[in-house]
Amino acid sequence: MSSDAGTTNSGVLQVIPPGRRFIPYRAVQDEERSRLLSKIDSLYREACSRIGGGGGGGVPSDVARLLVSGVVVGLLDPVSNILVNTLFTSDPITHPCSAGPYMDEAKLGEMVRRSLDGLVAFLVYFFPYLAGWEAVRYLLITDADLFIATRLIVSYRGMTRFSAALRLAAQVAGHPEPPRLVHAWMSRQSGLTDVADVLSASRMELPKLPDLREAWDLTAYRTCSQPDINIPDMLCETTRSLRMVLFDTFRCFYLRALARLPRHGLRTRYHRSLLKAGYCYGPMDPVSNIILNTIWYDATFSGGERPVLDMIGPRSLTRLECRSFFGLASFIKTRYHNLSDHEITQCLVASSGYLSLADPNLHADATRATHLSFGDINLSGDGAVWKTAQHRQQCVDCYGAIDKLKNQSPCTRTQEAYEAAATAAWHPNPEAHAAFLSSCKAMLPVSVALLLQSGERLTSVQVYYISSLFSPKQPTPEPIKMKNPCPVRVGKRRSEAQQRRITAKVKAALERHLLCDGEPMYDLHIICGANEFVGSPDYGEDKEDYLPCAPCTFPYSHVNFLVTQKGSSFAHRAPILYFAEFNNGEEDKPSLCCRVDAPTPFAEHVRCLYCEGEAAKIVHPASKKFHGRDEFEDVISGKDSYTNDRLISENKYAAEKICGLEEDCMYYDVKCSS
């Protein structure tokens, strides 16, 4: 068992580094699973008693149906789920049955185990980055009530997806007809409350099923009826999974920031300053902070010659999101030394990564009340709020992490906290960045602040004006002298080849969308995500050109890119996000290319086995088939040797890699020192 991230103290600075993944000892996991199995066994015995109206064994034909189809998966309390699945998702048994009560203990034990696997499968499929042992703990503290466990995690994370997870859970639990179970539960012909009332009266004549919204409301009532549930005490080891959810939220912020920056400036200069210092922490909302930090760094540290790129380095963008998180966490830790890493993560989740909400003492009360109220946060400019004020307040009330800070005095000034954030985020010049952030609110005119927070696309003229407000540029750095610059040059060539390869495929795909006059309909704004490792690897043993240094190739790539629609009427509209699946061979025609909805913070995302394993934050289509979608379900259901725990481990390794990458070589100007 390994511990979570610790802190590195440098005077008053508290810098939080990446930590190893917490995994309970196997003996602890086995003991918790055994306790949960015992709880589920007692639920089945109660269900059998209710079927027979007492007597301990029930009517033989109904008990036989229960042992085949009575899985505990559903939208009511566990016993009601067993009864509904027994009576609604299986046909009556017509063959003769022996009289009297009957209970096959072996079959009952098998049903208990299958139901547990189904419950865990639902939660693991429903929530990204949730390990099996975490799912068991949620089910333990909710007495195997699937929907209460789901609602608790939703309040913890803010994600929702139902029918696909319900079908997979029924399949893993061994239900003979999973689609029939999903149809029964997801139909909207009657109310779940009526079903619950009928079941509580032990009647066998059940009304038709149910309404999903009513199910959620009914679950809220059942949650309130269990006041002893305490997630922070039971699940304080879930810091890592919450951290990964925040990384996904930060990807939403960066996609919006990329869409708002002008295309020419982004391709020619701002890609460098974005990856160097475009962090989402600062005195404004996260998207505005990204833009502000990017423009400031470009204006202050111009750097050398910059390549013209059509793609933001995909691994570099993931690393930037990780660095932003550790910057935010280190800021809070420096300001409030007595907070644990888990409480800091809770603060950031409850505040949606908004530093001015995570730290209630960051600004004067008047400023905070005017600009930073819970219900007024809007990043997109189109009326879409991150989360409702009610949901946000629910997070704060549930964990109290932010409330804990309201009555405390900060341990340090904001400039020192910003320096800790910049140090943790690997900023090239932490002191200069801290000085800028602590004074930029006074430096920026009100018109610029309003422009940044408006959500509108910025023009080149507007960006130039913002840039002119900052310090004069520092001297251009000299080329880096190295004894052996060959590794950097090789890395640069490989990164450039990847850029050319993916850009060519994206542009070829866009050329298939034509206007009436035959001209392309779209202009490429920027490529903002790529994963070239999709599909089963080909190790090439039967190829003559097989090279041990390149042991395998992958057949497909998944790519996200932003495009702008041509025409004067679309000049001021936000870029559109696209997804494409390409064949990694010579053919440029995509197997799939479609528009996808821009993600919103803390919303669910469509899952892909290959992209999650590479920590590639690709936005996938919800209603299209692509490689990695069905394969993911096979992993969760145990049909693949690849496991969910392995997927989480590989994702964490790739996502929390904050050190140097080969993509950095594109920005290095090196020469031999001899």
Indicate if 524 and 444 belong to the same structural domain. no
Query: How far from each other are the two terminal CA atoms of the chain, in whole angstroms?
Result: 48
Give the pLDDT mean for 326-335: 93
Q: How many domains, in total, are found in the chain?
A: 3
Q: Is residue 533 part of a domain?
A: yes
How far is 163 from 186, CA to CA, in rounded Å?
Answer: 7
Q: Are 669 and 305 in contact (CB under 8 A)?
A: yes
Question: Domain boundary at 234, 256, 275, which?
Answer: 234
Domain that holds residue 328: 239-468
CA distance 60 to 101: 6
Least Cα distance to 608 among 585, 590, 633 occurs for 633
Distance, CA of 595 to CA of 522 (rounded, Å): 12
Boundary residue ending a domain (436, 468, 500): 468
The rounded radius of gyration (Å) of the Cα atoms in the chain is 27
User: pTM for the full model?
Assistant: 0.81
Instruction: State yes or no: pLDDT of 371 exceeds 50.
Output: no
Mean pLDDT of 553-582: 87
Are 266 and 395 within one domain? yes
Q: How many residues does the chain have?
A: 674
Q: Contact, 70 vs 111, CB < 8 A?
A: yes
- Could you tell me which residues are beta bridge partners of residue 670? 480
Rounded Cα distance between 472 and 623, Å, is 50
Are residues 288 and 437 both part of a single domain? Answer: yes
547 token code pair: 């090279």
pLDDT at 662 over 50: yes
Domain end marker among 219, 234, 249: 234
Distance (Å, whole) CA 457 – CA 261:
6
Q: What angle do CA 602, 119, 187 make, to 5 degrees?
A: 75
Average pLDDT value over all residues in the chain: 78
| Residue 39 belongs to some domain of the structure | yes
Burial of 218 (0-12, 13-18, 19+ CB in 10 A): buried
pLDDT at 503 over 90: yes
Is the model's pLDDT at 634 over the cut of 80?
Answer: yes
SS3 482: strand
If phi > 0 it is left, if psi is from -120 to 50 it is alpha, else beta; for residue 285 that is beta
Token reading at 199:
């079941």
Q: Which segment of 231-235, 307-311, 392-396 scores lowest on mean pLDDT?
A: 392-396
Count of beta carbons in the 10 Å neighbourhood of residue 503 = 18
Do 168 and 266 fall into the same domain? no
Question: Are 155 and 226 found together in one domain?
Answer: yes
Q: Residues 523, 562: contact at Cβ < 8 Å?
A: no
Q: What is the pLDDT of residues 411-432, one digit of tens each?
A: 889 999 999 999 999 999 999 9
CA 121/CA 115 separation, integer angstroms: 10
Backbone φ and ψ of 600, nearest 5°: -115, 150
- What is the pLDDT confidence band of residue 475, given thresholds at 50, 70 and 90? low
Which letter does DSSP use for residue 481 in this model? Answer: E
* pLDDT tens digits for range 347-359: 888 888 888 888 8
Same domain, 155 and 258: no
Q: Determine the average pLDDT of the residues in 216-222.
A: 56
